[in-house]
A and B are shown apart, each in its own frame.
Chain A
Amino acid sequence: MLEIKNLHVKLADEDKVILKGLTLTVPKGEVHAIMGPNGSGKSTLAYVLAGREGYEVTDGDILWNGESIIEMEPDERAAKGVFLAFQYPMEIPGVAGLTFLRTATNAVRKKRELTEMTTPEFMKFVKEKAAKLNIDFEMLKRPVNVGFSGGEKKRSEILQMAMLEPTLCVLDETDSGLDIDALKVVSDGVNALRGPDRAMLVITHYQRLLNHIVPDKVHVLADGRIQKTGGKELALELEKSGYAEFTGKAA
């Protein structure tokens, strides 16, 4: 279970406060959506969950399975099952997708005290997962994300997610830059990973994605706090009325 308690976050180098007492609980087996206007702190939340540098937690805590993770390095969190699907995945020139996947898979397995995969085991595993996600195996021979289309990048993120078998998946604007067909492939991939042992936090701007990935709960994030929580129908309301109510309240 993910428990975010009264989380206050500011930028490390500036006095800008972004999250102002965010509280949120996502039990295992559930998918929660976070919606909110630009600048409400959605991406900051994703980065703080994953442990990116440049943010300072000034108050509150993040517990994953009852354990505080805010002092952990990003790779330790990854080993604990935290996975962030990036809005803008990084390009890594010269590193083939397969090399990256294998290095990551084995790094995580080692930290989870599992045996590292041999080459044949790994190849079998990656071929299975790629086929499920409709990913052309040839794509994995190219350097990670270099020259990928928006759709390829996001599918590659979901493949990484499938390979690393996380228990907490954070998807940051996974729908951005996707056409309808790509959106469907990516959503199917995410839905296939839904399960009783996995908690998911889907961050999005638009209700569109939630037609494909149907959430158990929807939270509205504005001005650094959760302003409202509801069922999946809340997303539809927001689509109609916009965020004015919340940004107005905040102002």
Chain B
Amino acid sequence: MENYDLLNAIILLANFVIVPALSYGSQLALAALGITLVYAVLRFSNFAHGDLMAFGTMIAILITWLFQSWGLTAGVLPTALIALPFAMALTAGFCLLTDRIVYKFYREQKSQPVVFMIVSVGVMFIMNAIVRFIIGPKDRTFFDGEKFIIKAVEFKSYTGLPEGLSIKSTQVLTIVIALITMMMLFYFLQKTKMGKSMRAYSNNEDLALLSGINPDRVVMITWIIVGMLATIAGVLYGLDKSFKPFTYFQLLLPMFAAAIVGGIGNPLGAVAGGYIIAFSEVMLTYAYKKFFMYLLPTNLEPDGLMQFLSTDYKFAISFIILVIVLIIRPTGIFRGKTL
């Protein structure tokens, strides 16, 4: 079998690094897009975004339970996918409500961005409380349907290789849904009239107003998109891993890191940043011992786990990348600040 060592090594890497990082990156990218849109249009760093994701996911879980109690399922796909559109609509509505009750006042006052940021901390508290109040702080899984697309055992028997490849259906779903969402978002921003007016508003508020763009409408559309993106990102993350309000709050750091690394305010940057953060996180915390065992001759096999950093420090990785980018190129990779 030793002739297949290279192949085995590649499969190992695909199994534990490439596929998980791709799906985690897609989730981060969607989340970072929400942050970046708020930053570009409303001009503040939204600390409540992690909890907004948790809120959207909670709605999706509740609707999923409702559908399951009716006996409605999506067959091999998770039921949460049918619930997703409803949850998106409700979360978007919730965003609009928050904007109406809370943020609108400060916008009219033309408050400084930092005031908005503190206000978003208040919103974060309230959303956190609502989520914990309704669904509780515990860990929940709401996945149903077929769990694997390719099982490790089947792959082994099919190819005859000792290294198995398993791909979870949630990973493929995440990547596919994220790609579709991003494509739709970029089409919307680049080609439609509303998207163009959003970009104009983000570039120069006063000039946009003079050109007959209605700022209230732009803000409204932005919140709707942000709510929908947050729900998709949250549900995909919850399906892939599990739903726990505190984990969603902790995602704030990688999300912001992704948005800033790519250039905050720039949607393309948010997507790139999401994948950069995810790949570095997974690649730097993966133990490469087995990988090198396949590739190197027996006498050169490594003693340790060949792990750069233990998984306990995955937050440190997004932070270190953030700091490096801030030092070398403070505006981010794709020169942020406008849509």
A, B in one complex: no
Chain B positions within 8 Å of A, measured between CB atoms, are: none
Interface residues of chain A, those whose CB is within 8 Å of chain B, are none
